[in-house]
Amino acid sequence: MATFSIATLFSILLTLFLATLLGVTKVEARSFFVFGDSLVDSGNNNYLATTARADSPPYGIDYPTRRPTGRFSNGFNIPDLISQHIGQTESPLPYLSPQLNGQRLLVGANFASAGVGILNDTGVQFRVYESGARRVLVTGTGPLGCVPAELAMRSRNGECSAELQRAAALFNPQLTQMILRLNSQVGSNVFIAANTELMNTDFITNPQAFGFVTSKVACCGQGPYNGLGLCTRLSNLCPNRDLYAFWDPFHPSEKANRVIVSQINTGSIEYMNPMNLSTILTLDSQT
């Protein structure tokens, strides 16, 4: 399952507030579309013939229904929490869900798929700006070398993988510069760079400051750091998920997702460039 770690390098969460694509004319009726990998998948892989699935317990153990939904989380993931912040009563449904029709299309849709860009059955590309997107949030990669899966495979004393950390350090600044150049070309701050490497590094390097007991050991898993294999009914499972920065070998816990989304909402320019989500919502409400 190391492909998840590689896929994270290419993980892009796109929040799209559309005015033209769906004929929406009021800011209050903004639609929200998501593209990316397992970090933001809300259940598309439930409908695909793939091994990258989160449709069995204990996934979803802290979700309101206490049932697995296809989210690679113990509860809410990042799109869920952003949906709540922008005032939606429900998160965008997976685009493969048979329930996604009619009025629900105005809410948006989630096109994310675990393993995107790595597995042949999940890779899709979109030209979002030309399709009408006018606000696009693009996340970089997190600290790839510090997830429990990499610690289990590469670490001797709990140190992060230097090779993967260098890859992230090379990728993220160039992504931000590319986004700023795109904004210059279109003449507007359409694209927003979310520095998820820094957002994750904050609680990975100082977990106690955020109420975590550890950022090295996953809540659900097996082997060193609970970082080997999938999270299953037979895995080690922590009794309090809020004390762990990582839910499984690759994915943050719901509480860690809340930390990330808090910075997306109100973070300074080093976290959100050129502006955070709250500023976007304020500006859009004035137009």
Residue 94 has pLDDT above 60, yes or no: yes
Tokens linked to 286:
């004035």
Residue 14 has pLDDT above 60, yes or no: no
pTM, two decimals, is: 0.89
> What span, in angstroms and rounded, lies between the C-alpha atoms of 254 and 41?
14
The per-residue pLDDT for range 202-252, each reduced to its tens digit, is 999 999 999 999 999 999 999 999 999 889 999 999 999 999 999 999 999
* Contact (Cβ atoms closer than 8 angstroms) between residue 79 and residue 42: yes
List the catalytic residue out of 31, 38, 97, 235.
Answer: 38
> What span, in angstroms and rounded, lies between the C-alpha atoms of 140 and 149?
19
The more confidently predicted of residues 118 and 23 is: 118
Q: Is 85 a catalytic residue?
A: no
List the catalytic residue out of 5, 91, 248, 253.
Answer: 248
| Single-letter amino acid, residue 271 | Y
List the catalytic residue out of 91, 113, 155, 251.
Answer: 251
Where exactly are the structural domains of the chain? Answer: 3-146+161-194+258-285
Count other C-beta atoms under 10 Å from residue 271's C-beta: 20
Q: Is 38 a catalytic residue?
A: yes
Cα dihedral 200, 69, 122, 253, rounded to 10, equals 10
Beta bridge partners of 194: 139, 272
> What span, in angstroms and rounded, lies between the C-alpha atoms of 259 and 20?
32
> What span, in angstroms and rounded, lies between the C-alpha atoms of 70 and 113?
10
pLDDT band per the 50, 70, 90 thresholds, residue 10: very low
Q: Is 251 a catalytic residue?
A: yes
